[in-house]
Structure 1
Amino acid sequence: MGKISVSPEGTRYDLPDAAADEQEIRLLKEITARQRSMGRKIVAVQGLGFVGAVMAAVVADAVDKNGRPFYFVHGVQRPSTRSYWKVPVINEGLPPVEAEDPEIPEIFSRTVKQKGTLRATWQEYAFELADIVVVDIQLDATKPVFGDAAKGYVDTEAFEKAITVLGQHITPEALVLIETTVPPGTSQHIVKPILDREFKKRGIDTEKHPPRIAHSYERVMPGRNYVSSIRDFWRTYSGIDKT
């Protein structure tokens, strides 16, 4: 019997097998080619948690002055028993998170069902197709002693594994935008070395094609203005170089 993932509502979803993987890759190629023919940039959001899922919908909802979508978004969630259920739920046009903001169910329905600019997948192959990857991997700080921040720490193992996956798949031209709130120096001392290492394993000359990395830390305000807090608030951005 195969493994399953159970949604909060109790719906059971079989985890994908090898045949499903092959079919999904073919579908990702077809969808991406069709979206590129419409002049849209391809964005992949890594991690469909409380921030990443809504961020994916907000990006997919962005339009130009004529109302034409800028982007098509592949939302990527690992096929684990704990989280895979988010993929089929999102693809039904439903939000995988609960919040007071009435715009959350509206934006998922609009981008998935009406605009067709958002789709969730478990396949890492989506990263190979992306012009931009937004990293929204959960990274928690642990403070074992209240009031003594010096004893706090951050376990970056899962984050490092996620960046390694990107290094194994993205094109050298892809922009990696770190949105996860990370300790100072993470982009320089963790993200860049990992991407450099994985690029070199693939035979990519990192002198000619250095990883393109930017950072814009996540700032969301759960509540009735959740979507607006992602879409409308001022953002701070930084890049690895002037280009």
Structure 2
Amino acid sequence: MSTEQIFYLIIFITYSLVGILITYNATKVKKTNVYYFGFNLIVNGFIYFVVFLEFTYMQYIVRGFSLVLGLLFTQYTFYQDKKGPFKFFLTFAIISGCIQGVLSILAFFSPFSLLIAVPSLYLADIFFAVTVMINAGWFTHAAFEAYKGVKSFNLEPFQKKRYIIFAVSGLFLIFVGFLFFILMPVLINYMLNPTPVNYVIQLIVQFSIAGFTIVFIILNYLVWVPPKFFRNFLNKGYQGSTEKEEELSEEELMKKLSSGGS
């Protein structure tokens, strides 16, 4: 098993495990909006499993579906009762996903080999990176805005601080997209010239992307399936006034926010 395959396997397991836990938890508490995020992580895990088995065009096709799930989560979590850029971002994500799929099929089935494959995969990854940064940038902004809106509410600190944690996780995902955007030539250079030096350089790039991705996953585990000790740590010293305030769902919290906290 190569070093790259070890990366892919670790990320596959982490994505899938946390995605399943988030989906299961969402089912228990009936948070339908969180289903989308849980499925998003599961699909991302599947993508890394596909890459672990074999580098193929399938990963380029499936990851477009993952990005759409992420947009649906942001829309139904933060923008149910207000206007937002959802339709524009969704249209862009669908078009981007279609372009990635076409380019990947062209790359893997072209009779002209590397002459077509390399620029096609590079363009596909550029579209992917830009879409990831847009997706993550949107939910990061939405989470920061939600925190600013609820920080004055009489809620347990965890319910407020988790929006900050979620927003920070988005910053890590933005950086993953940025690394894809600026460092993809490094990975392509290794594909074309697999020298020891290029191997070390691309390994550093892979380490960086894997590291930021795993931090993103762990932070979202803490947000959506919080261990008791973590929740208690954030709630240290808090005295709740009513049980209802402590049990507000995301939908109820956003409705309360849109009504001015009444």
Higher strand share: 1
Bigger Rg, which one: 2
TM over 0.5: no
TM-score by length of 1: 0.23
> TM-score, structure 2 length as denominator?
0.22
